[in-house]
A and B are shown apart, each in its own frame.
Chain A
């Protein structure tokens, strides 16, 4: 058994052969392994979609919740237990569509969680409708005359909202992706990693081929502390698509704002009903 195998479970997946979710899983298992994180130390929170099934194919703690609702339970778990490494994994539809409001407010909180978005620019599980990141003009069974709205730019959105770690990866660059996942997990704060992940069944535009011709890595000397440069890079899409860490900054995390909390998980604090005795005086 190789070291990465400890993270593998249920190898018979519901994913289509050739799907970009496979290399993503490999990169994730590799990253966890290289960081020395054992399965019980990690918890992944997912929404619903093909991407969100990931936690059934990787052996760590898992909370497979509702469509669009992967972030709130992750925040709830993380705040009461500082010893858990918390990851969120979800599709572009789940994260930017149904879960858009949580995405926004999560950035404001800056909880210490890592968010991996499997961005295939399409709804996979419901068979090929447009997602918020689908390119303008693509036709689907619903958008029969082509998509009529502009695609959302997650990198730019996250940057503009003040996210403390913003990165993009591509499943066709597996080693690079593994390193990005490691950096995202190591980042103390909210880390968004938008991952370009071809859907071989429903997205006939943004294929491996298409991405391979366009994707390039941010240069070694790229300064990821330069906010304005990051915004500029975020605007690049089309002929040239940058991958790498766009921006990174240490900020106070959500948990730091609760001065009453210490390093212990709240579950370890005993419950004593007699503890409310002094509060009864409020009602005398």
Chain B
């Protein structure tokens, strides 16, 4: 059993605080939690909401149907009442017209808060919701204590939490609480930032752009402790070029942005390609083109990322499937960039970036740093150092400036010879292109095949990539419960495209359905162009909102399994 709380109001009403306190409290109590955020690109006003889905075990995405609607204003009700379940409850402050059709819990929150501290108004509601769920408040009091540094604010919030709790009635009973001591409660952006820290990122530069900014915020908060540098650049072009300079100097470097920023970085991704400078670039996708929908989600930058710069050079594109994967994939991206001396683009999106959920504790002991940088011990043997020495596998010895006592390191955006000096001869050009492209042989051996869920005798194969993972998994479960035989392939490595598993699974009698958060079926195009796999159906969504599991389930039944 699971339960869905939706909290709606306008920007500036403190939805995020409710989400954090309630989410963390429920997580600590041992529930499986999935929170998603839907907000407008404005600082005050508008209509925003967060969803908190609670349950046990396999909650892997958001749900549409609402059990508890916490309405911070009138609009919250008009916008969401259609999703309220029959036995759903609205918690609000005040009366509304035609209340007979809803179960209402009217909490005089404003009045209560004004007597204590009007700034802590929302905590009254948090208390009320906990009561509605028939839970205790001890854990919430602890979370409040940690959340507010100001003593007075701490106390006022605790008082108001208790008040709110008293004013509501218990309505729901939740599944039995599980032990989740071995779990973390983390959002996609933080997971990427943490993965970068584990990988030893020493320089990060970016220009703020929603929904990627959370990555910079987390890294900036840790820079002192880690002794690393985070710099807000004057624009995206500066950001990526600064990181390239840092990478040239031998350290691990990363930048993050969203589509428009990535477009500005395009030429510089090519610079990383031709200079063979390792670099990790995170694109937290939002709907485009141009400014698009700044705070909403889409998987619209796949083909752009793959074809990001003029000319031809090897690069990798990886799209993490959830916050657990995002950590490991970011770590891996640094290793791949470093080992193969090329740019790696991580494709996240607003849905993943702004969703917080339970994941398994990261296994830090499993992480191993891999690099192609020559060690200081080895450095003595390089007498006639050539940055772009032609080698068997295309990977040249990489030194950083100042590392070799008598040698210099020269990198060049022009086509160059083994020394890094400009060349224009036909053969030198071909040789250098061949050298760079040769790396793909080894890269292909490193590709992660898509994860497969299913058995031998499937009738339908759903294919997805990146963040649609959780919702598709839920849809598959629902379809299986109805007796359908459904397989699911979840891709994270997108470029180069791993081909073994998908080719093996697809047989002529299986219907292939590609599910994507974009309007043109970009991954389906890739499957067709690269592997000759034709999809029987493309389930697309491009209204800026993420899929829910039930939605995919229903669309499968209406549009595919007719």
List the interface of chain A (C-beta within 8 A of B): 9-10, 14, 39-41, 43, 45, 48, 53, 55-56, 59-66, 69, 71-81, 83-84, 101-102, 104-105, 258-262, 265-267, 269, 271-277, 279-280, 282-284
Contact = CB atoms under 8 A, between A and B. Distances in A.
B547 interface: no
B364 A274 contact: yes
Which of A39, A53, A272, A279 has the largest count of B CB atoms less than 10 A from its CB? Answer: A279
Contacts of B404: 40
A277 B194 CA distance: 10
A267 B244 contact: no
25 contacts: A39-B408, A40-B401, A43-B401, A62-B410, A63-B248, A65-B413, A72-B238, A72-B244, A74-B245, A76-B243, A76-B244, A76-B253, A79-B203, A101-B234, A101-B235, A101-B238, A102-B234, A259-B224, A262-B227, A273-B198, A274-B365, A275-B197, A276-B194, A280-B361, A280-B362
Given A41-B402, A280-B194, 11 more contacts: A43-B401, A56-B410, A69-B241, A71-B238, A72-B241, A72-B244, A79-B203, A102-B238, A265-B249, A273-B367, A277-B364
A84 B191 CA distance: 34
A266 B249 CA distance: 9
A74 B251 CA distance: 14
B538 interface: no
A89 to B, nearest CB: 14
A77 to B, nearest CB: 4
Interface string B193-207: 010011110110100
B216 interface: no
B275 to A, nearest CB: 8
Contacts of A9: 421
B421 A76 contact: no
A21 B28 CA distance: 67
A48 B422 CA distance: 12
A53 B235 CA distance: 25
A72 B365 CA distance: 36
Contacts, number: 197
A245 to B, nearest CB: 27
A282 B253 CA distance: 23
B188 to A, nearest CB: 12
Interface in B336-351: none
Interface of B: 28, 184-186, 190, 194, 197-200, 202-203, 205, 222-229, 231, 233-235, 237-239, 241-253, 267-268, 271, 275, 331, 361-362, 364-365, 367-369, 400-414, 420-422
Nearest to B185: A283
Contacts of B411: 62-64
A105 B268 CA distance: 19
A202 B404 CA distance: 40
Contact of A73 (B224, B241, B369, B414): B241
Contacts of A284: 28, 184-185
A76 to B, nearest CB: 3
B184 A280 contact: yes
B203 to A, nearest CB: 5
A105 B243 CA distance: 16
Which of A10, A262, A276 has the largest count of B CB atoms less than 10 A from its CB? Answer: A276
A60 B411 CA distance: 11
A267 B226 contact: no
B409 A64 contact: no
A220 to B, nearest CB: 37
A265 B250 contact: yes
Contact of A271 (B249, B252, B271, B405): B252
A48 B268 CA distance: 13
Given A66-B267, A271-B199, A271-B200, A76 B408 contact: no
B241 A56 contact: no
Contact of B234 (A104, A260, A272, A280): A104
B229 A258 contact: yes
Which of B249, B409, B413 has the largest count of A CB atoms less than 10 A from its CB? Answer: B249
B309 to A, nearest CB: 11
A15 to B, nearest CB: 12
Given A72-B241, A76-B205, A275-B197, A59 B408 contact: yes
B119 to A, nearest CB: 24
A79 B401 contact: no
Contacts of B190: 282-283
Which of A59, A78, A271, A274 has the largest count of B CB atoms less than 10 A from its CB? Answer: A271
A80 B249 contact: yes
Given A72-B245, A76-B243, A269 B202 contact: yes
The 9 closest A-B pairs by CB, nearest first: A76-B245, A73-B245, A271-B200, A72-B241, A61-B401, A267-B250, A76-B242, A76-B246, A273-B367
A105 B402 CA distance: 27
Contact of B405 (A40, A59, A269): A40
B234 A105 contact: yes
Contact of B227 (A61, A260, A277): A260
Contacts of A259: 224
A272 B202 CA distance: 12
Contacts of B365: 274
Nearest to B253: A76
A61 to B, nearest CB: 4
Contacts of A269: 202, 227
Contacts of A104: 234
Given A53-B422, A261-B227, A271-B252, A63 B245 contact: yes
A213 to B, nearest CB: 36
Contacts of A14: 422
Given A76-B246, A258-B229, A266 B409 contact: no
A80 B251 contact: yes
B237 A65 contact: no
Nearest to A102: B238
Contact of A64 (B222, B226, B239, B413): B413
Contacts of A64: 410-414, 420, 422
